[in-house]
Structure 1
Amino acid sequence: MSTTSLPSQAAFEPASRASGAALGDDRLWRWLTFSPALGLMVLLTALPLANLFVSSFQDILWSGGQAVRSNAGLAHYAALPSDALFRAGLSNTFVFALSAVSGQMVLGLLLALLCSKVTRGRVLYRAIFILPILIPGIVIGAIWKLMLNFDFGLVNQTLGLIGIAPHDWLGASETALLSVVLVDIWHWTPFCFLLFLAGIESLPQDVFEAARIDGATAWQEFRFVTLPLLVPTLIVTFAFRLVLAFKVFDEVYLLTSGGPGTSTEVVSFTLYQRFFTEDRIGYGSAMSVAVIFIVSLLLVVALSARKRSDAVA
């Protein structure tokens, strides 16, 4: 009776060593190919941030075309809470960001739901809906400044046809920020629309078929099926738009320049004034670091909410 001898463990060692060597070479190759992009990212991101952080502790003056730096300690950071313009800019930025992003998400979700139900001409509708996002910010500012003009603007001309007196939308403190919010909603709703439409089209259809078989109405299907499945997309879209809305500058600069008074003063415009109008580089750097810290906190909260939603799902 013959017996079959089993291969010893030593027979597998050369193959395992060869596999490990190949894996090590593959990792080395990945790092070598990734290192130029990593170096460029460090050069363009980490170094400017480090320079900004260092500058926030210094007073910087210009003499003979050279920057003369002196230590300021924590003086710039200590002055931030008492800066009325910074407080107004931060407050207006929060109001602007929350109002604009909320409006964009509601309208974007509504348009995405409507477009997902369309069977004919869907490409045409998509092209029409995304047109505002393709227009440069400076053009949008010029268009809406003309439309909201007190004397000959299209908005006041239209309201005059139904007997409503003209209003100085951009020159009155009670409507200036609202006008900028509405312009931003018009501009960035297509961004939310595209993300929501992609999210809706990627949802599993068997869940909707089961809901219809169970007799769910359109509202019940949206509330108990579509909306819960879209929570991750909603959180990511909200985080993206909140960060971008927090950096708004061009629309405010072109429409109101922060006025009247401080009614449309946003933190990006305040930074512009500190850096380029007043030439207070050290103080502007401290203000920038504070804004980056606030935006980072918002991102952490959004990512934590995304992880919780994934865990629940």
Structure 2
Amino acid sequence: MSADRLWRYVTLSPAILLFVALTILPLANLLVLSLNDVEWLNRQAVWEWVGIENYLKLPKDNLLRAGLLNTVIFAVAAVALQMLIGFVLALLSSQVTRGRSFYRTVFILPILVPGIIIGAIWKLMYSYDFGVLNQVLDVFGLGPVDWLGNPNLALLSVIIVDVWHWTPFCFLLLLAGLESLPDDIFEAARIDGATGWQILRDITLPLMMPAIIVTFVFRMILAFKVFDEIYLLTGGGPGTSTEVISFTIYRRFFTEDQTGYGAAMSIAVIAVIAAMIIFATRATAGRGGKA
């Protein structure tokens, strides 16, 4: 082994050991935990091997099915709106010459607000008795709306909060992608007489596709793990109208003490997210190869 290769292994070994300690070992422990049933006796954890029994329970769990359906609806609706609004804001911001820093600062402010404050602010805004949204409706002669207590509106209300909170994330990534595009292509298109719509459709969107895919996957991963907004605003209710996967896992782990079953749920969610990452990576590589 050459000295350069040895030095490379020596310098990389601390990072590899840290990665194993913080990522691989917890995942391995979670996997083993999912194959056991754990009970607490005299402050001691008693493990009982059950094999794949916890995984066989997953398709029969009504709460899990409700959480999965709500998570998919939440993730698709919220991320689609965030991507659309973020891309429009990025396009507009990239064309602004005066006050560019001011507008960009305003656009990213929501993502800087801690989740606990966001929950408190929006819960007050959604309040049935004195919320600002119902006060606005009252000005127009409309009755108050139970934004968080109505099963038909609760999930939509949470989606609105998530869109307000995470659109800046999409805006920042898409803006960085837009500003990395070469200017000479757009100048040549304008000289050839291309309209703004043609430039957007035939040049901007194809060139932005890798950035769009990466941003979409990042947001989908975070959306699938949503917890704080649900916990602070609705607690999964009313009924199961805002139940999501993360909140279901939280219930199984900490309120129902089904540790092994909760671990099996966690492994299943991790597998889904890993599949999304693999798919996005291949899609991005495919787009890069075509480009």
Distance of 1:308 and 1:98 partners within structure 2? 23
- Measured after TM superposition, the shift of residue 26 of structure 1 is 2.2
Aligned twin of 1:32: 10
Deviations 1:70-108 (Å, cap 9, x if unpaired)?
111221111110000011111111110111110000000
Cα RMSD for the two superposed structures: 0.9
2:242 pairs with 1:268: no
User: Equivalences for 1:10-49 in 2 at 5 Å?
Assistant: 24-49=2-27
Greater Cα offset, 33-42 or 259-268: 33-42
Distance of 2:218 and 2:78 partners within structure 1? 13
The AA in structure 2 aligned to 1:156 is N
Aligned twin of 1:80: 58
Distance of 1:186 and 1:27 partners within structure 2? 49
Which of 90, 107, 111 is the equivalent residue of 1:112?
90
Deviations 1:187-208 (Å, cap 9, x if unpaired)?
0000010011111111010100
Aligned twin of 1:63: 41
Identical-pair percentage: 61
Distance of 2:16 and 2:114 partners within structure 1? 30
Distance of 1:29 and 1:156 partners within structure 2? 66
Distance of 1:260 and 1:167 partners within structure 2? 15
Distance of 1:54 and 1:163 partners within structure 2? 59
User: Equivalences for 1:130-145 in 2 at 5 Å?
Assistant: 130-145=108-123
Aligned twin of 2:226: 248
Aligned twin of 2:194: 216
Deviations 1:277-311 (Å, cap 9, x if unpaired)?
01110111111111111111111221121122112
Distance of 1:28 and 1:143 partners within structure 2? 55
Structure 1 consecutive aligned stretches of length 4 or more whose deviation exceeds 2 Å = none
2:37 is paired with a residue whose SS is strand
Aligned twin of 1:98: 76
- Measured after TM superposition, the shift of residue 54 of structure 1 is 0.5
Structure exhibiting the larger radius of gyration computed from Cα positions: 1
2:160 pairs with 1:176: no
Aligned twin of 2:237: 259
Aligned twin of 2:141: 163
2:170 pairs with 1:192: yes
Q: Where does structure 2 lack aligned partners over 5 or more consecutive residues?
A: none
Using structure 2 for the length normalisation, give the TM-score.
Answer: 0.98
